[in-house]
Structure 1
Amino acid sequence: MKKSLVLMRHGETVFNKRKRLQGWVDLPLTALGKEPAKYSAAWIRALGFEIDHAFCSTSERASDTLKLVTSPSYERKKGLKEWNFGKLDGEPEYLNPPLDQYDAFFRGNGGEVRQELIDCMNETLTEIMNRKDVQNALVVSHGAAIRNFQRFWCPDDRKLIPGRLYTCAVLVFEYNTGDQRFTLQEVYNPNYQGMTSSPAAG
């Protein structure tokens, strides 16, 4: 059986605006962070299928974004949280090391390694999509969590996501319950300069 996972990044927060690392630390959405959610909601409604279940991480920036997109009840899941950056949470983004040094850097500062984040997202999203009552799920999570999940299932992502993944971006995956695999289908990546999009169909 094939199902649909609509995976959305939360709206902009104060730390996003100030270019600070934001993992388990939580801040409210900015006014600009709320506006693109309306465009993402419209794009989701135009997908051609009805969302029957909604989920988000336990961070308020995720649940606040979800409330701007859909009205049904939703479930908060700790397994959808952002990367745990340890003591570096809230520090400037320029402190980030090269990508191949992330694991040692964040683990050395009390955070988690990339594989722990991927395993957590995979376990949580697979559990959600294997529920018998779930056919089309909307999930609001976080930038690094979504990016690492997406790159695990679709390493060659340049056609669908040629650049950065903006806040309020939406990724649509097909989930096959037989082999329990996720396949990236479409991407809506809003641009704050005019709220235009750069969608691409796979």
Structure 2
Amino acid sequence: MSQTIYLMRHGQTLFNSQHRIQGWSDSPLTEKGVNQAKIASQYFPENQIKLESAYCSTLERTEDTLLQITDLPYKRLKGLKEWNYGVFEAESDYLYPFNNDANFFPLFGGESDLDVQKRMSTTIKDIVTQDHSSNILIVSHGGAIRSFARAWRKYEANSNYLPYENCCVLKFIYENDVFSFQNMYNHDFSSLES
């Protein structure tokens, strides 16, 4: 039996709007972030997708996003948290290394890309093996989602990755112990620009 995972990034937060590195640090959704989540919630009914179960990380920004998407009961899981950026948490994002060296953040008390890939893959695999729903919503974080996608890249059906905007949705099919990336959807938030 195949299962479909809708892996979604949270809405804009205060730290996003201030261009600060968030990681395990948390900040609330902005008004724009709440509105992004409301717009993103339409993706599912517009595509005749009936969500059957829902999960989010233990960080407030994912839970607040999920609450705008569905009224399903949900579980908060630590394994879905954002990448731990160590001493760079809450600092200006101009300090973020552009080369994405997988071993950079452990030098400063954070996680490596491999750490995040393993944590996300283990957590999401636990979800699908314990929850036999056909359509599962998981609200997580940009860095953690990127790491998960990298872990399963060799199985992807589509390599058309767009920028990981707030409230983007990545669709994965889980079958035969493999997560296969299908497509990604970024929403049109032009009505929110002012």
CA distance in 2, matches of 1:23, 1:157: 29
Query: Does the C-alpha gap of structure 1 residues 12 and 114 become closer, same or farther in structure 2, counting only changes over 3 Å?
Result: same
3-state DSSP of counterpart to 2:61: helix
> Could you tell me which residue of structure 1 aligns to residue 74 of structure 2?
74
> Could you tell me which residue of structure 2 aligns to residue 198 of structure 1?
none
Deviations 1:12-40 (A, max 9, x none): 00110111110000010000111111221
Letter in 2 for 1:33: G
CA distance in 2, matches of 1:135, 1:159: 23
CA distance in 1, matches of 2:164, 2:157: 11
Deviations 1:136-194 (A, max 9, x none): 110000000011111222368985224x2100001111110x2x111112211124334
Which piece of structure 1 moves more, 131-140 or 3-12? 131-140
CA distance in 1, matches of 2:158, 2:188: 17
CA distance in 1, matches of 2:168, 2:108: 29
Q: How does 1:94-109 map to 2 (within 5 A)?
A: 94-104=94-104, 106-109=105-108
Offset, 1:98:
3.4
3-state DSSP of counterpart to 1:71: coil
Letter in 2 for 1:59: L
Q: How does 1:16-35 map to 2 (within 5 A)?
A: 16-35=16-35
Structure 2 counterpart of 1:190, from 176, 187, 191 = 187
Deviations 1:106-153 (A, max 9, x none): 112111111000100000001111125322110000000011111222
Offset, 1:48:
2.8
Letter in 2 for 1:175: Y
Letter in 2 for 1:170: V
CA distance in 1, matches of 2:47, 2:117: 27
Structure 2 counterpart of 1:181, from 178, 181, 188 = 178
Q: TM-score, normalized by length of structure 1?
A: 0.88
CA distance in 2, matches of 1:132, 1:53: 8
What is the aligned residue count? 192
Offset, 1:80:
0.1
> Could you tell me which residue of structure 1 aligns to residue 171 of structure 2?
172
CA distance in 2, matches of 1:66, 1:119: 24
CA distance in 1, matches of 2:100, 2:146: 16
Deviations 1:78-114 (A, max 9, x none): 000000011110001111223253523x112111111
> Do the aligned partners of 1:128 and 1:134 also contact (CA within 8 Å) in 2?
no
Task: Provide the alpha-carbon RMSD of the alignment.
Answer: 2.0
Q: TM-score, normalized by length of structure 2?
A: 0.91
List structure 1 runs of 4+ shifted beyond 3 angstroms.
155-159
Deviations 1:30-83 (A, max 9, x none): 001111112211112233332111000000000000000000110000000000
> Could you tell me which residue of structure 1 aligns to residue 114 of structure 2?
115
> Do the aligned partners of 1:129 and 1:135 also contact (CA within 8 Å) in 2?
no
